[in-house]
């Protein structure tokens, strides 16, 4: 028992300093509210990079070109369609989905007239998946460098 504990302490002390993954941690209730969603024309059936590098890293996520994300999208993809939407905690069922998803209660996306135009969900605590306007999209949540407070 003492040998195992000693080995564990030595192993812990000999580990190099480990840096974490991406510094994103969001909760569902922090994303509820009004959003502007920008959609570009479809350019490809392939996955499109929307600002981050692959593999993803902090320096590319903090690049100054992403400070004005609307400008970044216009420069990279051209015309944008802008939607003012509300991500809610209200839920509804989408019967067009395959079983068993056609039974799930999904978080609603509402337009300015309070009509359901899509659904959204958190992906772990780092991203957002939305389905609206016959498009499904995923994105990592944006973050900026700040104080350690």
Q: Cβ neighbours of residue 107 under 8 Å, at least 6 residues apart?
A: 28, 87, 88, 89, 90, 91, 119, 120, 121
pTM score? 0.74
17 within domain boundaries: no
Q: What residues make up the domain containing 93?
A: 22-42+49-140
12 within domain boundaries: no
Convert the pLDDT of each residue in 17-34 to its tens digit: 555 556 678 899 999 999
- With cut-offs at 50, 70 and 90, classify the pLDDT of residue 3: very low
Convert the pLDDT of each residue in 75-94 to its tens digit: 888 899 999 999 999 999 99
Q: What angle do CA 120, 123, 129 make, to 5 degrees?
A: 35
CATH number for the domain harbouring residue 63: 2.40.128
6 within domain boundaries: no
Mean pLDDT of 129-136: 91
Residue 55 has pLDDT above 60, yes or no: yes
Residue 47 has pLDDT above 70, yes or no: no
Domain count, the chain: 1
More confident residue, 128 or 140: 128
**Strand 116-123 relative to strand 135-140, pairing:** unpaired
Residue 132 has pLDDT above 90, yes or no: yes
More confident residue, 2 or 69: 69
C-alpha 56/C-alpha 12 separation (Å) is 28
């Amino acid at each position: 028992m003492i040998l195992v504990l000693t080995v564990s302490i030595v192993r812990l002390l000999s580990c190099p300093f480990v840096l974490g993954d991406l510094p994103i941690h969001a909760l569902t209730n922090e994303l509820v509210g009004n959003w502007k969603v920008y959609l570009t024309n479809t350019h490809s059936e392939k996955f499109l990079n929307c600002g981050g590098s692959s593999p993803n890293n902090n320096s590319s996520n903090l690049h100054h070109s992403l400070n004005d994300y609307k400008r970044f999208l216009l420069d990279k993809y051209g015309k944008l369609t802008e939607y003012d939407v509300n991500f809610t905690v209200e839920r509804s069922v989408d019967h067009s989905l395959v079983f068993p998803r056609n039974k799930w209660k999904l978080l609603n996306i509402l337009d300015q007239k309070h009509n359901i135009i899509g659904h959204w969900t958190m992906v772990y605590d780092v991203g957002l998946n939305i389905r609206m306007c016959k498009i499904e999209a995923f994105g990592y949540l944006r973050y900026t460098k700040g104080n350690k407070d």
